Amino acid sequence: MQLIFDPKCSPSEYHAQGKNYAFPDLTGEPCPRCHSSLLRGHGFYLRWLISVDFSDIIPIRRYICKSCGKTVSLLPSFAHPRYSYSILFIITLLNLYYLEQLSVTETINSFNQSTIVDCSRQLLRQISKRFEQNLNRLTMGFTALFKCKEPAITVPLTEKRQRAREFLEHIKSFAPCDVSLKLFELSRTTFLTTRAT
């Protein structure tokens, strides 16, 4: 199981501190899965984080429940569950493709000129497809989160690019990591997964 927290620093600052970062301490907290025992520290694991201005391995703090044996990992909010690509990487790519309405080739060229890492056509297609598949859940979460009277998306289901554009238009005034963190806390929904664990 993963919990997301706001590290209040950039990926490079987080990386520089490594295991010495002041992680939230979940020792003695009830297990969020079985609720029958308390969590205790269980070391770290390492994972890649690829962002627009950072690409390296970062430590992830882990806790374990001695009753059910399940682990709980603390993921910084700039990271996306189940993906090496950061929230900023994903949103930057989606904004170019949907909000600026660039073609696939134009999106890739623009993205690759402005970041330290390159994006392929295949990666853009994978990210945009998963994002479009998750739009209904994201819209419901956004509407509930910000108590909107009007839905974030008003166009028919068949108009996928327009639906994606409307959603991104609604969230562009917020910091991407804040939106991601709040949506995850509310519904465990992320930009590219329907149910993060």
Query: What tokens were used for 69?
Result: 């044996």
- pLDDT tens-digit map of 37-95: 899 999 999 999 999 999 999 999 999 998 999 999 999 999 999 899 999 999 999 99
Residue 197 has pLDDT above 60, yes or no: no
Per-residue confidence band for 19, with pLDDT thresholds at 50, 70 and 90: very high
Burial of residue 45 (number of CB atoms within 10 Å: 0-12, 13-18, 19+):
exposed
Same domain, yes or no, for 61 and 126?
A: no
- pLDDT tens-digit map of 90-109: 999 999 999 999 999 999 99
Query: For position 149, what pLDDT does the model report?
Result: 59
Domain stops at, among 49, 76, 103: 76
Query: For position 168, what pLDDT does the model report?
Result: 93
Query: For position 70, what pLDDT does the model report?
Result: 92
Same domain, yes or no, for 72 and 91?
A: no
Query: What tokens were used for 67?
Result: 């009753």
Looking at residue 86, the DSSP 8-state letter turns out to be B
* CA 128/CA 124 separation, integer angstroms: 6
Residue 47 bridge partners (DSSP): 58
Query: What tokens were used for 188?
Result: 């465990």
Q: Range of 160's domain?
A: 87-187
Contact status, residue 103 vs residue 96, Cβ threshold 8 Å? no
Same domain, yes or no, for 46 and 96?
A: no
Per-residue confidence band for 148, with pLDDT thresholds at 50, 70 and 90: low
User: Which residue in this structure is represented by tokens 């028919």?
Assistant: 156
Task: Provide mean pLDDT across the span 124-135.
Answer: 93
Mean pLDDT over each residue of the chain, to the nearest integer: 90
Query: For position 85, what pLDDT does the model report?
Result: 96
Reported residue count of the chain is 197
Query: For position 153, what pLDDT does the model report?
Result: 61
Beta strand ranges found along the chain (DSSP E): 2-5, 39-50, 55-65, 71-76
**Does the residue 192 lie in any domain?**
no
- Please count the helices (runs of H) and the strands (runs of E) in the chain: 7, 4
Burial of residue 130 (number of CB atoms within 10 Å: 0-12, 13-18, 19+):
middle
Query: For position 158, what pLDDT does the model report?
Result: 67
Same domain, yes or no, for 91 and 158?
A: yes
Query: For position 155, what pLDDT does the model report?
Result: 60
Same domain, yes or no, for 100 and 168?
A: yes
Same domain, yes or no, for 112 and 171?
A: yes
Query: For position 195, what pLDDT does the model report?
Result: 60
Same domain, yes or no, for 100 and 134?
A: yes
Q: Which amino acid makes up residue 69?
A: G
**Does the residue 194 lie in any domain?**
no
Task: Provide mean pLDDT across the span 115-143.
Answer: 91
Report how many domains make up the chain.
2
* CA 20/CA 98 separation, integer angstroms: 39
Same domain, yes or no, for 106 and 172?
A: yes
Same domain, yes or no, for 103 and 154?
A: yes
Query: For position 96, what pLDDT does the model report?
Result: 97
Helix-, strand-, coil-residue percentages of the chain, each rounded to 5: 40, 20, 40
Same domain, yes or no, for 91 and 157?
A: yes
